[in-house]
């Protein structure tokens, strides 16, 4: 069965709203407008205003309300329009949601799910297009997911709502119209493991979210050049599935990490450091990172495309570390 990424998230929401009366969705324009990306379209009519709640433009306030509701026994899902706007709620997220279990000696859990769009590629310029999920993966006390397929988008949401601790789901905004296969009947998705999307022997390409499709296209292009590239979908940024990464390195001995964050302080840097610490002697070449240019995301289409990691950059990086130039 096929559906778009947008439909898959909506189906995940519908599933958890039907399954548990404690679940409710809140955020800016999630009700009458149907969500900034039309993800929640129709849910207000189906579940009513007590379960689908429009909020004021105040990220700190409604994220804090979600934390309070979770502590009080509800299962809130908070939608933040884009990761850029989530900066306004950082105090609630880092100092409350992520810390309360530890600060209370395990007495207080915060079963909160926060969804937000991330990433560039839609000509929305710097305040709507950045990829900051790696910042959240820095914070202990929360789980960070980055589904790249419709099946993961639906299944991870359902798994997240069952988690006793805060789970943050980063949905790359360019993926919403993308269609893909989903499990029928529905199957939960493991939110503790990465997954290998394509097996290979010459080089490992690690990617997640909006970069996965580019990594798979790069793998296709490399195949025509006689290079077998393994593509690993990281998909769970915290806790990071180190075993799948290290096993892939042990098979291919060369690594390209694709990450839409800026190179400095990127999540790609974390993966690279992990490999250097635990798989250094498996490497036949230095790890290569393919990241965004270190500039605020441009508006102009050609400038934005130049700032983001592209398939050609991934192919060139793989060819470089293999010593085979196209």
138 as an active site residue: the answer is: no
DSSP 261-325: EESTT-HHHHHHHHHHHHSGGG-SS--EEEEE-SSPPPSSHHHHHHHS--HHHHHHHHHHHHT--
For residue 217, what are the CA distances in angstroms to 106, 196, 198, 220? 45, 15, 11, 5
- Cβ atoms of 110 and 194 within 8 Å: the answer is no
Token digits for 78?
A: 């908070």
Cα 17 to Cα 19: distance, rounded to the nearest angstrom: 6
Furthest-apart CA atoms within the chain: distance in Å:
60
Cα 66 to Cα 112: distance, rounded to the nearest angstrom: 7
- Cβ atoms of 194 and 175 within 8 Å: the answer is no
Cα 1 to Cα 24: distance, rounded to the nearest angstrom: 27
Residue 311: count other Cβ atoms within 10 Å of its Cβ: 19
Cα-Cα end-to-end distance for the chain = 38
- Catalytic pick among 7, 28, 59, 171: 59
- Catalytic pick among 7, 28, 79, 128: 128
Mapping DSSP to helix (H, G, I), strand (E, B) and coil, where does residue 96 land? Answer: helix
- Cβ atoms of 146 and 172 within 8 Å: the answer is yes
Residue with tokens 């999307």: 197
Backbone angles phi, psi at 42, to 5 degrees: 90, -15
Cα 18 to Cα 236: distance, rounded to the nearest angstrom: 26
Omega within 30 of 0 (cis) for the link into 173: no
128 as an active site residue: the answer is: yes
Residue 258: count other Cβ atoms within 10 Å of its Cβ: 28
Q: Which residues are catalytic?
A: 59, 128
């Amino acid at each position: 069965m096929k559906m778009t990424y947008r439909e898959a998230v909506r189906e995940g929401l519908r599933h958890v709203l039907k399954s548990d009366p404690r679940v409710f969705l809140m955020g800016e324009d999630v009700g009458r407008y149907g969500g900034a990306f039309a993800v929640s379209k129709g849910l207000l009519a189906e579940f009513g205003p007590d379960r689908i709640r429009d909020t004021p433009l105040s990220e700190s306030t409604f994220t804090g309300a979600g934390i309070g509701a979770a502590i009080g026994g509800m299962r809130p899902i908070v939608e933040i329009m884009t990761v850029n706007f989530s900066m306004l709620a950082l105090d609630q997220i880092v100092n409350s949601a992520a810390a309360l279990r530890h600060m209370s000696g395990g007495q207080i859990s915060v079963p909160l799910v926060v969804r937000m769009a991330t990433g560039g590629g839609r000509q929305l310029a710097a305040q709507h297009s950045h990829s900051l999920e790696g910042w959240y993966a820095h914070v202990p006390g929360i789980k960070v997911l980055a589904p790249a397929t419709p099946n993961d988008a639906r299944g991870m949401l359902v798994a997240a709502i069952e988690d006793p601790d805060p789970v943050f789901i980063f949905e790359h905004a360019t993926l919403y119209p993308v269609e893909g296969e989903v499990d029928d009947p529905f199957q939960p998705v493991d939110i503790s493991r990465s997954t290998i999307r394509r097996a290979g022997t010459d080089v490992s390409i690690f990617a997640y979210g909006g970069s996965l499709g580019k990594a798979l296209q790069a793998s296709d292009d490399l195949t025509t050049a006689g290079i077998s590239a393994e593509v690993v979908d990281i998909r769970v940024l915290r806790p990071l599935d180190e075993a799948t990464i290290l096993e892939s390195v042990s098979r291919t001995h060369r690594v390209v990490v694709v990450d839409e964050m800026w190179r400095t302080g990127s999540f790609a840097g974390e993966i690279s450091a992990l490999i250097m610490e635990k798989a250094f002697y498996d490497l036949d070449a230095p790890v290569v990172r393919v990241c965004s240019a270190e500039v605020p995301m441009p508006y102009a289409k050609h400038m934005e495309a130049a700032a983001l990691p592209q398939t050609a950059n991934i192919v060139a990086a793989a060819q470089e570390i293999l010593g085979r130039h196209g």
